[in-house]
């Protein structure tokens, strides 16, 4: 697996980053680290401007691309660190991992957090329950140090799973989930990880950005605190949020071949890294499958797939096409369309979920400073 390694990154101007050559000789930071004094210095001088300079406030979390279906990275919890793989999910707000208290089969083949082995763990009497579209978990809440992309978040509340019913989480290649949506939808009032990063002044900018690779290749990442200009050469379109819950935006319409096929009077959409496909209202799904020549299960001839038109999402006055190479999924010689049905009406119209099928075509910036989503078409 090839992982993105962002070396020699420095903050420039408005939170942009660029690669710079390493200077000869050792920096003061390197010298302190080599002598085992850096952490002591940072703890003794938490408000010293020099200490602030030493702290890394731009950090990239490499993600593994698992079959173009799930993307996950490694975090650690506790002292000493216990490692877990988690999905970085912009469609939820809680962090949770399996625990030693869990007896569900899904926990038996995943890493489990043991609070007794962490000197910084603080227990609570609060419980946690989260239901996702494909599974659920319940457990208890606790506080501990969580390290994400070398960013150390203190006193982070997280869930220790005690039950993970059903088969879904048993077969997942990741241990838990790290939610990156808003506090308003966090179960049990837990403060999300990125909110704590902002409050603890751990990121240079109150935003993070996401790149998801295609065709199971490496290089996927979440970049905390910055926008990588290498992925925005086609410019950025900024879209205001319609709700500060999920990363929710308003869509103007959806078209295929220049003809509107759904969302004619506007609808709502969620940009969700934790959803693999494009989730569309049931009524729209039938129309899409029919227009594209697929059967009711979304199956289509692979030979016909290359001749299909793009599906275009019209958002904030701009067109965001998703070509057939993105939405046609091939496996073992069979082709299916990357759409799934869903019926979740909102006060502001039908709800669509722009999952990984959409996100792989765009570099996405999730900006908490302005409450906007930025989209940049990838080359």
- 344 shares its domain with 370: yes
Backbone dihedral region for residue 269 (phi beyond 0: left; psi -120 to 50: alpha; all else: beta) = beta
> Domains in the chain: how many in total?
2
Task: Kindly give the residue spans of alpha helices, DSSP state H, lying in 130-222.
Answer: 168-171, 193-199
CB 349 within 8 A of CB 268: yes
**pLDDT (mean) for 352-357:** 98
User: 219 and 234 share a domain?
Assistant: no
Q: Are residues 204 and 93 in the same domain?
A: yes
Single residue among 169, 191, 224 that ends a domain in this structure = 224
Choice between 343 and 225, residue whose per-residue pLDDT is larger: 225
Catalytic residue among 89, 144, 195, 228: 89
Question: Does residue 21 lie in a domain region?
Answer: no
- Residue 236 domain flag: yes
| Domain termination residue (choose one: 202, 224, 246) | 224
For residues 220 and 234, state if they share a domain. Answer: no
Pair 191, 72 in one domain: yes
| Span between the terminal Cα atoms of the chain, in Å | 22
- In this structure, the answer to whether residues 202 and 288 fall within a common structural domain is no
Asked which of 181, 209, 224 is the last residue of a domain, the reply is 224
Active-site residue (options: 144, 175, 228, 272) = 272
Domain assignment present for 17: no
Angle made by CA atoms 162, 164, 166, in degrees to the nearest 5 = 150
Residue 311: give its domain's CATH number. Answer: 2.40.70.10
Token readout for 246 is 């999920």
pLDDT digit string, tens, across residues 116-145? 999 999 999 999 999 988 889 999 999 999
| Mean pLDDT, rounded, for 11-22 | 28
pLDDT by residue (tens digit) across 161-212?
999 999 999 999 999 999 999 999 999 999 999 999 999 999 999 999 999 9
89 catalytic per annotation:
yes
pLDDT at 133: 82
Q: Which domain holds residue 297?
A: 230-377
- Are 244 and 331 part of one and the same domain? yes
Judge contact between 149 and 226, C-beta under 8 A.
no
Query: 3-class SS at 252?
Result: coil
- 216 and 85 share one domain: yes
Q: Do residues 277 and 132 both lie within one domain?
A: no
Pairing of strands 176-179, 95-98: antiparallel
């Amino acid at each position: 697996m090839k992982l993105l390694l962002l070396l020699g990154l420095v903050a420039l101007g408005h939170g942009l980053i660029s690669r710079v050559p390493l200077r000869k000789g050792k920096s003061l930071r390197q010298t302190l680290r080599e002598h085992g004094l850096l952490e002591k210095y940072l703890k003794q001088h938490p408000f010293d401007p020099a200490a602030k300079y030493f702290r890394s406030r731009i950090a990239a979390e490499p993600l593994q691309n698992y079959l173009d279906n799930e993307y996950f990275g490694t975090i650690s919890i506790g002292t000493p660190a216990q490692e877990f793989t988690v999905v970085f999910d912009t469609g939820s707000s809680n962090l949770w991992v399996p625990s030693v208290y869990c007896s569900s089969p899904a926990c038996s083949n995943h890493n489990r957090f043991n609070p007794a082995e962490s000197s910084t763990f603080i227990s609570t009497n609060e419980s946690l329950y989260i239901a996702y579209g494909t599974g659920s978990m319940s457990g208890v809440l606790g506080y501990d140090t969580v390290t994400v992309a070398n960013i150390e978040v203190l006193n982070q509340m997280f869930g220790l799973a005690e039950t993970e019913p059903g088969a879904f989480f048993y077969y997942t290649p990741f241990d838990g989930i790290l939610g990156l949506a808003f506090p308003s939808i966090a179960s049990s009032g837990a403060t999300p990880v990125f909110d704590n990063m902002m409050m603890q002044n751990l990121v240079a900018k109150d935003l993070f950005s996401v790149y998801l690779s295609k065709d199971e290749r490496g290089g996927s990442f979440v970049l905390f605190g910055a926008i990588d200009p290498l992925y925005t050469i086609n410019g950025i379109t900024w879209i205001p949020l319609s709700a500060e819950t999920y990363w929710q935006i308003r869509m103007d319409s959806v078209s295929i071949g220049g003809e509107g096929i759904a969302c004619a009077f506007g609808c709502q959409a969620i940009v969700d890294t934790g959803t693999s496909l494009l989730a569309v209202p049931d009524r729209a799904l039938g129309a899409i499958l029919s227009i594209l020549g697929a059967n009711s299960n979304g199956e289509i001839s692979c030979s016909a797939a290359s001749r299909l038109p793009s599906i275009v999402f019209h958002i904030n006055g701009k067109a965001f096409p998703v070509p057939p190479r993105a939405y046609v999924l091939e496996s073992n010689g069979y082709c299916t369309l990357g759409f799934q049905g869903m019926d979740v009406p909102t006060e502001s119209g039908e709800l669509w979920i722009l999952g990984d099928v959409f996100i792989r075509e765009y570099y996405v910036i999730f900006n908490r400073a302005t409450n906007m989503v930025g989209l940049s078409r990838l080359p």
